[in-house]
A and B are shown apart, each in its own frame.
Chain A
Amino acid sequence: MSSAGSLSSMQRLVEQLKLEAAVERIKVSQAAAELQQYCMQNACKDALLVGVPAGSNPFREPRSCALL
């Protein structure tokens, strides 16, 4: 029955919204600070960000041609 279907789906939606409204949240300033901190801590390991010495990136080293 489509009406029972839409009724139960509305009930589910209300339940879901109640759940989502009850989620614990922190301030954006704190969340942003933690995102930034993670970036800074891991920046040195990020090869695409800081670049690695030419030898150690397997994609950057020149490929040798095999002579058959």
Chain B
Amino acid sequence: MCDQTFLAVVFGPCDKCSKEKPLRAVYIKSEQLSYCSLCVEMGLQTSGPNKFGHLAETAFWHAFLGRGSPGAAPRAGDAQQLALTCCRPAGAGGQAGLSLPPGGAVPGLRALGSAGPQQGRGGAGSRVAEAAGASAASPRARRAKELLPPSLSLSPVSLPASLAKMATEGLHENETLASLKTEAESLKGKLEEERAKLHDVELHQVAERVEALGQFVMKTRRTLKGHGNKVLCMDWCKDKRRIVSSSQDGKVIVWDSFTTNKEHAVTMPCTWVMACAYAPSGCAIACGGLDNKCSVYPLTFDKNENMAAKKKSVAMHTNYLSACSFTNSDMQILTASGDGTCALWDVESGQLLQSFHGHGADVLCLDLAPSETGNTFVSGGCDKKAMVWDMRSGQCIQSFETHDSDINSVRYYPSGDAFASGSDDATCRLYDLRADREVAIYSKESIIFGASSVDFSLSGRLLFAGYNDYTINVWDVLKGSRVSILFGHENRVSTLRVSPDGTAFCSGSWDHTLRIWA
């Protein structure tokens, strides 16, 4: 099933960085230039005379919807015009499909359909990762042992030449592998030592003198009903009012949270739409799931336009899509997948800009750093690791492995210096990036069900966490204590986000509803 050709893209040298890339029109001081998507990103981040107006993005979406962008003409001369199809056939080129990372990731679909709440320890994904690791351990070494019966000496003269060569090669590789392993172990030990040296105090000790929080009165203020099956993901629009949510039955709905009206609805061709995101401009949404793709739908209020017809496939993974997020603009999307990788895509051309390999199992969640702190993002996966990545280089900067089970959700602290994670081991943890370690654990003996989703309040003092036991716990981030439990959902809470201005938060659940709490 292929989508039709829809957008002519100008391809040529960028006016800023001079690289050959898909270009779009931008307006700086009433002058029209052509920038590549990365330079558009950087322009949107800066302030002052070089910052683009909102014009650049609305022009993009006008062109997208076929209304003709105001004044944007392709560059003459050295620019080529390419018509790109949105759907790439399965065998096409290295950039279309992401190959599985070597030595790991037997991509197993997590236990999605399990009836009733799951117990905490050891999710399905972590078991898969362990099995993959064990089997990858030096089959060559095993073969080398087979070639040499124990009684024979290692002298090559006693064996036929080719066999001897293979045997010694095998042994040599075995030695290198073993020496690398010991080096890795010693490095890991050294890392722990370095981290422990700076662990002079606990966060809650530092926060002892802070005033305790009073009683919280938080109630469900709105209930959004309309999904026919489990709600899996939701996201707020920057206008602090609209919400997009996706569910197991394949429906993606855009709501007005003040009035609870549904503004848009689209049915995806797949079930289990596990990820959805609102574009920063509010003009589009992205979603994906078991179809292994991330698709972008522009939002239009024109009754005659069918939303599904304007769909654009942006990302292609080799396993399910677990999370997606627009970066600071509508031009790029970051995705996380069950194939163990994350990837950064250009929305317009569908081109893969950067891929991030390092997780040993399915990646379940990601979050972008708040824009002031730069181009990094954090991801969490079934390998119990949370990894912080540099978006430009694709390098993993830091990684943390203290959880006992799959990490379902990661969220940056509002200042960008820390992030929280929620896991199937029934705990939430806070990791500080500058201290490079875990600094707080939010857990109680009475909480035995996994945390599926976490988010901070505006100041970062409160951490809201949705759990598989149908409740939402509110934690005091500094003191480490729980300040409130919120009841209301009739099945596990699957997703939770605080609104952009911090006035409310929304939770989605397997009971088919979303609730706005304030």
Contact = CB atoms under 8 A, between A and B. Distances in A.
A in complex with B:
yes
Interface of A: 1-3, 5-11, 13-14, 16-21, 23, 25-36, 38-43, 45-49, 52, 57-60, 63
Given A3-B139, A34-B417, A59-B503, 8 more contacts: A9-B102, A14-B183, A25-B437, A28-B439, A32-B207, A35-B478, A47-B504, A58-B503
B115 interface: no
Contacts of A58: 241, 258, 503
B119 interface: no
A63 B206 CA distance: 43
A64 B395 CA distance: 53
Contact of A48 (B198, B218, B415, B432): B218
Given A3-B140, A39-B459, A48 B505 contact: yes
A41 B503 CA distance: 17
Interface string B134-174: 00111111000000000000000000000000000000010
Interface of B: 102-104, 136-141, 173, 176-177, 180-181, 183-184, 187-188, 190-191, 194-195, 198-203, 206-207, 210, 213, 218, 221-222, 241, 257-259, 358, 395-399, 413-415, 417-418, 432, 434-437, 439, 457-462, 477-478, 498, 501-505, 516, 518
Contacts of B195: 25
Given A3-B173, A35-B203, A45-B459, A26 B198 contact: yes
A46 B502 CA distance: 6
B216 to A, nearest CB: 8
Nearest to A45: B458
Given A14-B184, A39-B459, A45-B459, A52 B102 contact: no
15 contacts: A6-B136, A6-B138, A6-B177, A14-B187, A19-B395, A21-B194, A25-B194, A28-B202, A31-B435, A35-B477, A46-B457, A47-B501, A47-B504, A48-B218, A58-B241
B199 A20 contact: no
In order of increasing CB-CB distance, the 6 nearest A-B pairs are A3-B140, A42-B459, A46-B459, A17-B187, A31-B435, A32-B206
B203 A28 contact: yes
B358 A49 contact: no
A46 B461 contact: yes
A5 B457 CA distance: 44
A52 B194 CA distance: 44
Contacts, number: 188
A28 B435 contact: yes
A40 B397 CA distance: 29
A10 B436 CA distance: 23
A36 B437 CA distance: 17
A48 B498 contact: yes
B504 A59 contact: yes
A16 B396 contact: yes
B457 A49 contact: yes
Contacts of A19: 395-397
Contacts of B221: 59-60
A28 B462 contact: no
A18 B187 contact: yes
A49 B476 CA distance: 10
A6 to B, nearest CB: 5
B191 A42 contact: no
A9 B396 CA distance: 15
Contacts of A30: 435
A11 B190 CA distance: 17
A8 B102 contact: yes
Given A10-B177, A21-B187, A28-B198, A59 B138 contact: no
A38 B136 CA distance: 45
Nearest to B464: A48
A45 B502 contact: yes
Given A7-B177, A21-B194, A31-B417, A47 B458 contact: yes
Contacts of B503: 47-48, 52, 57-59
B203 A32 contact: yes
A10 B477 CA distance: 37
**Residue among A33, A39, A41 with the highest chain B CB neighbour number at 10 A:** A39
A65 B102 CA distance: 60
A48 B506 CA distance: 12
A21 B414 CA distance: 26
A36 B417 CA distance: 12
A47 B502 contact: yes
A13 B103 CA distance: 11
Contacts of B203: 28, 32, 35
A35 B136 contact: no
Contacts of B398: 20, 23
Most B-side CB within 10 Å, residue of A6, A27, A35: A35
A2 B518 CA distance: 54
A13 B173 CA distance: 17
A20 B432 contact: no
A47 B180 CA distance: 52
Centre residue among B181, B218, B395, B436 by max chain A CB count within 10 A: B436
A60 B504 CA distance: 9
A63 B188 CA distance: 57
A38 B201 contact: no
